[in-house]
Amino acid sequence: MNRTPVVFIHGAWLHALSWESWAERFASRGFLALTPGWPGEAAAAGEVRKSPETLGGIGLDALTDHYARIVRSFDISPVIVGHSVGGLIAQHLIGANVGRAAVAIASAPINDIPLPAFPARLWTPAQTDAADRLVSLSPEQFHHVFANTVGAEESDRLFERYVVPAPRGLLTDLGCAGAVRSPRAVADIGNAGRGPLLLISGQGDRLVPDSVTRAVYKQYGDSTAVTDLKQFADRAHSLVIDSGWRFVADYVLGWLDERGIRAHLAEN
């Protein structure tokens, strides 16, 4: 039996380890789970925070090309699961017929859908030098905008294990603080031949509000390709790493099963 690969793509301010529980859960169901980090990403978040320079030059073009190569490298077309900017990349790739199916969780917005004003203030904190290529979150900022539906103790644990600086250039590519968005921040919403897509939002998300995900879902409304939406009440942008992660992961597993995407493919 051949195992179906699932490629997990993490978003800004998180390390690839943010998918560790998901990878274990999907592997226990028979999938080949992979959590490749960004180019040059060290093995642990603490290492990245100590020496984050390798992330400074990463933009949306480099990230998209990096994950496109990974997804295309398998003999069996993978499922792509992305969070935040990873969700945008997942939509871009599935819209280009790269990958078998995609799940975009609290995704950065595609096409002409604007980001809310709140992240713009986060992106340009007064204490940050404009020449700095990285934007860091303090534990307090992380709790306020990223993990706002969990307690301070849990938020601090999540911060210590998973949080890293984000490249300023990448945030520019996403249109933060009124910047001109990259041409790569798009998805082909009219591709009727693409694989199925699931959009997920947290209704307590302050970084990518539920309204943004609903606006993205509406853009796909005229397509005959499968596009589904799942909203989780009282969940923040941390919904893939906080104590409720399993509810989201198991919903994704159930959705894949409903769409006929199995962990094992029978050999001919």
Segments of the chain scoring below 50 in pLDDT: 120, 125-131, 268
Residue 54: inside a domain: yes
What total number of domains does the chain contain?
1
Count of CB atoms situated within 10 Å of the CB of 83: 31
Cβ contacts of residue 65 below 8 Å, gap of 6+?
none
Cα–chain center distance at 9: 6
H helices of the chain, in order, are 20-28, 45-50, 60-72, 85-95, 117-123, 139-145, 152-162, 168-173, 210-219, 245-258
pTM of this prediction? 0.95
Residue 268: inside a domain: no
Residue 88: inside a domain: yes
Gyration radius (Cα) of the chain, Å: 17
Judge contact between 80 and 193, C-beta under 8 A. no
Helix/strand/coil percentages in the chain, nearest 5: 40, 15, 45
Query: For strand 2-3 and strand 264-265, is the pairing parallel, antiparallel, or unpaired?
Result: antiparallel
Count of CB atoms situated within 10 Å of the CB of 95: 23
Question: Which residue range forms the structural domain that includes residue 131?
Answer: 2-261
pLDDT of residue 268: 47
Residue 159: inside a domain: yes
Q: What CATH code is carried by the domain that includes residue 45?
A: 3.40.50.1820
Residue 203: inside a domain: yes
pLDDT of residue 120: 46
For the stretch 20-56, pLDDT in tens is: 999 999 999 999 999 999 999 999 999 999 999 889 8
Residue 94: inside a domain: yes
Residue 267: inside a domain: no
Residue 148: inside a domain: yes
